Structure 1
Amino acid sequence: MAETPSLPADCQLLALDVGAKRIGVARASAGARLVEPLQIIAADGSEFDRLVELFAAYEPAALIVGLPFDAAGEEGRQAAAVKQWVKIMVETTGFDGAVIYQDETLSSRAAKDLAVSGPVDDLAAAVILEDYLDLWE
């Protein structure tokens, strides 16, 4: 599922857990492999402006985007919606780095296991990013 483009070992990565109401964001330096949940952005029409700010602050070489699969393990309507959102986000924000899709199966459940209470979207993004980094150790 995930591909590994040629990325510098010290590059910054941002992960996105895209949902209908919220977008979870996490970051890591590819070389250090320390994942940090960053924030939860409301999907209220202003999310692209906030992402532009994050892109300027962290200068990510790549976005690792969680891709949901249906019960049969196939890309379904949710995956298509995420890919469409990413396409619009790239066009709107001008993001010119790599976009890498990562299986997000069970990321929200794992994030809930880590959280005390409240939304877990940023933790889910962190789990997605950790899963991606674990593939290349």
Structure 2
Amino acid sequence: MRILGLDYGDRKIGVAVSDAFGWTAQGVEVLNRTASEQDLERLREIVEQHEVTEIVLGLPKNMNGSIGPRAEICMAFAEELKHALGLPVTLWDERLSTAMVERTLIAADISRKKRKQVVDKMAAAVILQSYLDTKPK
């Protein structure tokens, strides 16, 4: 029973998966978005491969907590996921997750090129770990 974490962006989708106990999140990959059907098919493959039973999707709220256009796009994607994959989807506040990952990678002196390759999957892992930390153990 693993949980899939997603950081949904305009061009990429960061993907993370929990361990079997739901204690830790690990970044899996970054999907370069193409057509919606192809994106959903790749996510279906990941769900099957990792035996996922639930999805957590980052919800990019505004800093004041309101829902803006980007969050509305994520909410629509959540509905697509529910219908296409038949799994429950939880929207999770992701404010500043990508910025936190960027700061961490910069502090670790990771080059800009390498940061671009991993920032989305690390943001997905941060979103998922934040969610997992609220679940009773």
**Would you say same fold, with TM above 0.5?**
yes
The one-letter code matched in structure 2 to 1:87 is E
Q: Deviations over 1:84-136 (max 9, x none)?
A: 12222333x3x122211111011101221333222411000000011111112
Among 80, 83, 88, the alignment partner of 2:72 is 80
Partner of 1:133: 132
Tell me which of 4, 13, 30 is aligned to 2:3: 13
* TM-superposition CA deviations, 1:61-83 (whole Å, max 9, x none): 10011001113211111111101
Verify the 8 A CA contact 2:3 2:22 in the aligned structure 1. no
User: Residue in 2 aligned with 1:4?
Assistant: none
1:27-46 mapped onto 2 (5 Å cutoff): 27-29=17-19, 31=21, 33-45=23-35, 46=38
User: Paired residue for 2:49, among 47, 57, 61?
Assistant: 57
Stretch moving more, 104-113 or 124-133: 104-113
AA paired with 1:131? S
**What letter matches 1:118 in structure 2?**
K
Structure 1 residues not aligned, in runs of 5+? 1-10
Q: Distance in 1 between matches of 2:40 and 2:22?
A: 27
Structure 1 residue 104 and structure 2 residue 94: aligned?
Answer: yes
Structure 1 length-normalised TM: 0.83
* Greater displacement, 79-88 / 28-37: 28-37
TM (normalized to structure 2)?
A: 0.83
Matched residue type, 2:122: L
Residue 13 of structure 2 aligns to a residue whose secondary structure is strand
Q: 1:34: Cα distance to partner?
A: 2.1
CA distance in structure 2 between the partners assigned to 1:21 and 1:32 by the alignment: 28
Counterparts of 2:25 and 2:63, CA distance in 1:
28
Q: Quick one: percent identity of the two aligned structures?
A: 28
SS in 1 for 2:7: strand
